[in-house]
Structure 1
Amino acid sequence: MDILIKNARLSDDQSLTDIAIEAGKISKIAPSIEGEATRVIDAEGRVVIPGLVESHIHLDKALIASRKPNKSGTLKEAIEVTAELKPTFTKEDIYDRAKKVLDMIIPNGVTVIRTHSEFDPAQGFTGFEVILKLKEEYKKFVDIQVVAFPQEGIFKAPGTEAMMHQAMEMGADVVGGIPYNDAPANDHIDLIFEIAKKYDKDIDLHQDFADEADHMSIEYLCQKTIDEGYQGRVSVGHLTALHALPEEKLTPILELMAKAQISVMALPATDLHLGARNDEYNVRRAVTPIRKLRDAGVNVCIATNNIRNAFTPYGNGDIFQTAMIAIPVAHLGGADDLPTVLPMITENPAKALKLDGYGIGEGNKANLVILDTKVVNDAIIDIPTRLFVIKDGRVTVETTKTVTVHQ
């Protein structure tokens, strides 16, 4: 064995177990495993989880909040500020900032990232090329899926359609889109499907990011997904407009989303910051209805979106903290709800991203995290130190924790 983890806690209602790792995979899980191992790690009853999945983040425009702040805190100004700054980005600048963010994220236990990397005729592929380079450089630490993302729209920015095809040929993993920032939204969606089908790639859209539910295209997207046979291959981020719908209008949409097998990346840190800025009283949370989506059978994930820029002027790369924000925001702290949160940053995004060999099971990839907590149900609310991160059967992060209380 390359690594033998002893006394691991995989659930709160089962005994401790051992996990054997060989050749990058989990070779055996049993109450007691004997034999020689290059390294033995005694978890001492601590929780072991699969590697965390950061399913929606923008590495190329992180860490720029101080350059030109979004003073109104609105989505409109965030888009305007970022569009103004993007032409000033150099490859070296994007590389340095994106690398810093990766170095923040990886020690927190993330082993898979889906990042939206944008381009347009004004800036070219400056950032996109950098992200593809970092994908290769960091592959021993994290698997990166790159989304070809037209932030400024496609029809609104002539020349972007050709760049979308070029991005796919350059190595993009997923076709991105932003219907609400283009016109008309349905034509934008049609074009995204055309590109995705040509290259046989999944789709991930920034969808219906608004305080009101008066210009949504989610229903069109769902029906298009079904008509094109793309069930289970489409993800959407934000989807905040759903929060403004009464039950009788929301329910049929949720049913249609479940039928289309749409995955939703909830982004509470960003959407709480930007949403409901015009509400003078009774200020709304303006976050996609996580509980209702979950209860309707929709695959719900929690992700970070942005770190320290005009869209989200805070963040430290710890997806546990983002999940912790979601707990009170979405009323997920109840006894029956709390156990559903950890899967929103592990199993659910793994399903959305179609990760092969994911999870703690024999024969699966050895991407694991040992947490400094002994209760699985407390894995989020403890925000525990990630003591060990194992990627493809190799210890990539080891954290030593020392606490001294002086009397």
Structure 2
Amino acid sequence: MSKILIKNIKTLNGGCTQDILVDNGKIVDIASTISIDDADEKYDFKGGLLTPALINIHTHLDKSNLSKYVINETGTISEARKRLFEYKKNMTVENIKERARQTILESVSNGILFLRTHVDVDPVIGLKGITALLDLREEFKDLIKIEIVAFPQEGITESPGTYALLESAMFLGADVMGGHLSVAKDFNEHSIKMFELASKFGCDIDVHVDYDIDRDYSIYRICSDGKKYPKELGIVDLCQCKKYFNFEGLVTASHVCGLSSALPEDAEQIMGLMHEENINVVALAPNNLYCNGRSDKHNIRRGVTLAKPLLNKGVNVSFGPDNIRDPFNPLGSSDMIMNGLITAYACHFSNKIDYDELFNMCTYRAAKIMKLKNYGTELGCYADFTVFHSDSPEKILANAEKPAALFRRGTLIFNHA
């Protein structure tokens, strides 16, 4: 492989401009100035910011680019689910691949080299989505790493036959066990089934939980730890079940919108429980802002999780776009800078420290969820880089800037500098 010299860049670690030397796809030297004669390629980015390759930690490739076929007239989550359920009856493997392929290529053009997609598994769609994404994972394996979550969109017990299909999806090669506590009638039962399957296959869990914000959070129950929690928050059952199973894999809670509608003292206690059980969180502001609060006539709620308070509690929080141009968000985009900007507004990120953290959330924090090895901009890390013209997260966000260049294992994918 080529020896690459990248000059005059800044990193998320801050400080002055540096040079990075890449050999055999890994970083072998970092210094204020590196002078060598045998570099196969040299790139000067003139003080721009070089980050680890961007990560989209939560999306739905199987649904992407459906918005022109599946119309959500009310913009509500309930209509989106209903319209999708009907349309899924006519989906084919090739149709899913065609739409998802477009989004994968678009994602790479936006500086993304790592992506986790939730893929519907239920008796209506069967394993078509899983089959399609397994094919695409193989097709693009030398360009982008795709993780597949087996996602019971219609529930498990609520959709008879789904449990067996989830098993089949994992046998076929799905990477992560999904869940949908947002539609489950019994949070505990649904959680138990998820943890049973994840334990059987030795995989991590990534579950949609507490999407709906129109529940009654004033009704309480006493849980196994002897504390009182709102009965309608599934995140509590997720935490309790992780502890009951003594589950050693990673557990990620996506959405967690209901936390923002709970009383502050309840939210504080639940965030403490999430930290105690080492639950990762993915904030999904673009989708949640689109669907949530539709029934509010005044004081319209944002319906986005408490990203900053969770971070302050020590919880690992990332963010993503969720749906990309489908009935759950017709305007959804794979552009992580745009998604970061929306997250900043929705979650009240307001200063340089916050904006730097946003970049950590779509790089290092997301990498922790995906268990990526040798990821970063330190010695010995793989040379997977996204480069920007501007020299700081704040400027990049303010300009809604597109990446200037992208490297995968030291190979240049594109360069617009």
Which residue matches 2:117? 115
Structure-to-structure mapping, 1:3-152, within 5 angstroms: 3-11=4-12, 13-35=14-36, 36-152=38-154
Q: Which amino acid aligns with 2:160?
A: P
CA distance in 1 between counterparts of 2:87 and 2:356 reads 41
Judge conservation of contact 2:170–2:201 (CA < 8 Å) in 1.
Answer: yes
Q: Supply the distance in 2 between the matched residues of 1:326 and 1:13 (Cα, whole angstroms).
A: 23
CA–CA distance in 2 between the matches of 1:90 and 1:277?
32
Displacement of 1:56 in angstroms is 0.4
Q: Deviations over 1:120-179 (max 9, x none)?
A: 112221111010111111112110110011111111211111111111110011000102
Q: CA deviation at 1:335?
A: 3.9
Amino acid at match of 1:86: K
Residue 8 of structure 1: how far off its partner (Å)? 1.0
* CA–CA distance in structure 2, aligned partners of residues 208 and 327 of structure 1: 21
Moved more, 222-231 or 314-323: 222-231
User: Partner amino acid for 1:118?
Assistant: D
**Can you give the 5+ residue segments of structure 1 that lack an aligned partner in the other structure?**
401-407
Equivalent residues of 2:355, 2:393 under 8 A apart: no
Distance 1:216 1:316 in 2: 29
Deviation at 1:54, TM superposition (A): 0.3
Is 1:340 aligned to residue 366 of structure 2?
no
Candidates 241, 248, 260, aligned match of 2:277:
260
Distance in 1 between the 2:76 and 2:183 partners? 15
Residues 173-216 of structure 1, C-alpha deviations (whole Å, 9 max, x = no match): 10001022123221111010011011110000001111145321
Structure 2 gaps of 5+ residues are 218-231
- CA positional deviation for 1:334: 2.5
SS in 2 for 1:46: strand
Confirm or deny: 8 A CA contact 2:12 2:51 kept in the other structure. no
Q: What is aligned with 2:299?
A: 282
**Contact kept? 1:342, 1:380, Cα under 8 Å:** no
SS at the partner of 1:54? strand
Q: CA deviation at 1:23?
A: 1.5
How big is the shift at 1:76?
0.6
Alpha-carbon separation, structure 1, partners of 2:183 and 2:70: 21
Mapped partners of 1:220, 1:212: distance in 2: 19
Distance 2:207 2:163 in 1: 16
Letter in 2 for 1:220: D
CA change 1:12–1:126 in 2 (3 A) is: closer
Amino acid in structure 1 at the alignment position of 2:169: A
Aligned residue in 2 for 1:306: 323
Specify whether residues 110 and 385 from structure 1 end up closer, same or farther in structure 2 by C-alpha distance, changes over 3 A only: same
Residue pair 1:94, 1:127 contacting (<8 A) in 2 also: yes
* Corresponding residue number in structure 2 for 1:367: 384
Structure 1 residues 113 and 154: CA distance shift in structure 2, 3 A: same
Q: Give the drift of 1:376.
A: 4.2
Following superposition, the deviation at residue 230 of structure 1 comes to: 2.9
Q: CA deviation at 1:315?
A: 2.7
Amino acid of the structure 2 residue aligned with 1:200 = G
Runs (4+) of structure 1 exceeding 4 A deviation are none
8 Å CA contact 1:238–1:265 kept in 2: the answer is: yes
- The alpha-carbon distance between structure 1 residues 255 and 47, as it changes in their structure 2 partners (threshold 3 A), is same
Shift, 1:380, TM fit:
2.6
Distance 2:304 2:112 in 1: 24
Q: Residue 49 of structure 2 contacts residue 392 of structure 2 at CA under 8 Å; is this kept in 1?
A: yes
Structure 1 residue aligned with 2:160: 158
Tell me, yes or no, if the aligned pair for 1:9 and 1:376 is still in contact at 8 Å: no
Partner SS for 1:44: strand
The superposition leaves residues 9-63 of structure 1 with CA deviations (integer Å, 9 ceiling, x where unpaired) of: 1158512111111112112111122221111011111110000110000000111
How far the C-alpha of 1:325 sits from its partner, in A, is 0.5
Distance 1:329 1:276 in 2: 13
Does the 8 Å CA contact 2:326/2:332 hold for their aligned counterparts? no
How much does 1:231 deviate? Answer: 5.7
Q: Render the CA deviation track for 1:89-136: whole Å, top value 9, x for unaligned.
A: 112211110011111111111110000011211222111101011111
* AA aligned opposite 1:369: T
Give the partner amino acid of 1:361. E
Q: Is 1:318 aligned with 2:335?
A: yes
Q: 1:232 to 1:29 in 2, by over 3 A?
A: farther
Name the aligned partner's letter for residue 136 of structure 1.
Answer: E
Query: In the alignment, which residue of structure 2 is the partner of 1:271?
Result: 288
| Counterpart residue identity of residue 343, structure 1 | N
Specify the alignment match of 1:403 in structure 2.
none
2:263 alignment counterpart: 246
Aligned twin of 1:205 = 207
Matched, 1:233 2:250: yes
Partner Cα distance (2:184, 2:240) in 1: 19
Q: CA deviation at 1:327?
A: 1.0
Residue range with higher mean Cα deviation, 170-179 or 6-15: 6-15
- Corresponding pairs, count: 400
1:60/1:117 contact within 8 Å kept: yes
Q: Is the 8 A contact 2:188 2:241 kept in 1?
A: no
Counterpart residue identity of residue 39, structure 1: E
Question: Residue 224 in 1 paired to residue 237 in 2?
Answer: no
Is the partner of 2:351 in helix, strand or coil? coil
8 Å CA contact 1:205–1:237 kept in 2: the answer is yes
Q: How high is the TM-score relative to the length of structure 1?
A: 0.95
